[in-house]
Amino acid sequence: MKKTSTKKGMQQKPRPVLKWQTGAYDRDANFKFVLPYQFLLLCRLVDKTPREIIWDFTDNLACASSNREGRDAAKEHLINYFIAHGYGQHHYSEEDIRQIFKEMDAIGMLFPRESNGKMNLIDLYAKWRDKHHTYFFKKWFRKPRRKLSKKEEI
């Protein structure tokens, strides 16, 4: 009988849900960049690692379902930051961008918090959410009449 090696700590990279989730848009992304020195100083002064702050920033901007309590003001500031930088405004109006964030927030708010440990409810939510993400993306991507390349099609 052959022994099979199992490397602990090595996880398989998740397959993309949508075909375009590769390269620069890969969900399992590892970035290597130089942090601005002032940002690093600030992180150390407030005893938060750069990873914690960057994770918190992306989690709030994504209107994720985890750690939602008491974050509405921060999310609103981040949405205003996103709009002030003009992100996406070559495709969408400011009202459209705000609607995109409202819809993302609604998805996050539907997470079954009162599931009382019933994993079935959480699993059902996760399946629905994953299907809704595909619908949500197609709806908003196609609104300005954009098209994915044949290689990237959903």
- Give per-residue pLDDT as tens, 109-132: 888 877 666 778 888 888 999 999
82 neighbors 115 (Cβ within 8 angstroms)? no
By residue range, what is the domain housing residue 52? 41-144
92 neighbors 101 (Cβ within 8 angstroms)? no
Query: Would you state the pLDDT for residue 96?
Result: 96
| 122 found inside a domain | yes
At residue 65 the predicted structure's pLDDT band, cuts being 50, 70 and 90, is: confident
| 132 found inside a domain | yes
At residue 28 the predicted structure's pLDDT band, cuts being 50, 70 and 90, is: confident
State the average pLDDT over residues 66-73: 81
| 100 found inside a domain | yes
| 31 found inside a domain | no
pLDDT at 7 over 60: no
| 23 found inside a domain | no
More confident residue, 14 or 5: 14
- Supply the pTM of this predicted model: 0.79
Number of domains within the chain: 1
Q: How far is CA 47 from CA 44, 81, 113, 127, in A?
A: 5, 24, 30, 37
| 15 found inside a domain | no
Handedness of CA 118, 28, 101, 68 (dihedral sign): positive
State the average pLDDT over residues 76-89: 96
Query: Would you state the pLDDT for residue 45?
Result: 98
Single-letter residue type at 63: C
- Give per-residue pLDDT as tens, 43-63: 999 999 999 999 999 999 999
The rounded distance, in Å, linking the Cα atoms of 85 and 79 is: 10
| 28 found inside a domain | no
CA-atom Rg of the chain in angstroms: 19
| 74 found inside a domain | yes
Structure tokens given for 138 = 């197609």
Query: Would you state the pLDDT for residue 117?
Result: 65
